[in-house]
Amino acid sequence: MINDHDLSLLLLSASAVLLTTTVVFATLWVRSRERVFRSSLDRARRVDPSPDIRHIMNAVDSMAIEIERISEGQRFTTQILADRVLSDTPQQKRVSSTGRVITPH
């Protein structure tokens, strides 16, 4: 049969295995609850903005496009003025080496 020493080793090893599995399962459960909590927060953040916010976003986008057009026109005007100062024939500077005319868009 089993003597006292072997029985104590068996109980000690069984207790160690039970403690290890309990800690592992508890850790996995906490992590899964954390994932569920994070996913619920992500879903709450993904809610479509209100119509007022969408209207403001569209207005800001259109202003950004117009500002970009103004800045390109200003760059073109600055280049033309710099070409006039540097050379007597600004028409030759407006045509690149490939034969394309540089114009603002």
Looking at residue 25, what is its pLDDT?
A: 96
Tell me how crowded residue 55 is: count the other CB atoms within 10 A of its CB.
11
SS (H, E, C) the chain: CCCHHHHHHHHHHHHHHHHHHHHHHHHHHHHHHHHHHHHHHHHHHCCCCCHHHHHHHHHHHHHHHHHHHHHHHHHHHHHHHHHHHHCCCHHHHHECCCCCECCCC
The neighbouring-strand residues paired with 45 are none
Query: Over the stretch 83-104, which tens digit does the pLDDT of each residue have?
Result: 887 775 545 555 556 666 666 6
Query: Over the stretch 41-52, which tens digit does the pLDDT of each residue have?
Result: 887 777 666 888
Looking at residue 90, what is its pLDDT?
A: 46
